[in-house]
Amino acid sequence: MTSITTAMPVSIPSAALRQMDEAERTRVLNAAFDSSPESLTAYLAVLGARLRVYEQRYELPTSTLTAALASGELRETADVSAWLFWADLRSQLAGK
């Protein structure tokens, strides 16, 4: 029986990724993640759990995060920026 890892395979500080342009960030993320279907499923599960923590903390679904920022309902802090980053990463991985 094969075991699926429930943790992210590498640690990349989100501050470092925010400093990169889109092309460099995509290259680094693509190199860091195994894109097998099993691994993608595990990554998505980990990211989903991480997003649920933010959703509970802010009492707001991730799907409305951008609209909440645009309307001023939510202020962009370092914590909210991290939430945006993880939501974007999950969206990118879900598209594979």
* Region 29-56 average pLDDT: 85
pLDDT of residue 36: 74
Please give the residue that has the higher pLDDT: either 13 or 48. 48
Could you identify the residue written with the tokens 């990463």? Answer: 89
Give pTM, 2 decimals. 0.65
pLDDT tens column, 52-77: 999 999 999 999 999 999 999 999 99
Express as a percent the part of the chain with pLDDT over 70. Answer: 81
CA separation (Å) from 3 to 7, 41, 60, 95?
Answer: 12, 12, 33, 24
CB 32 within 8 A of CB 93: no
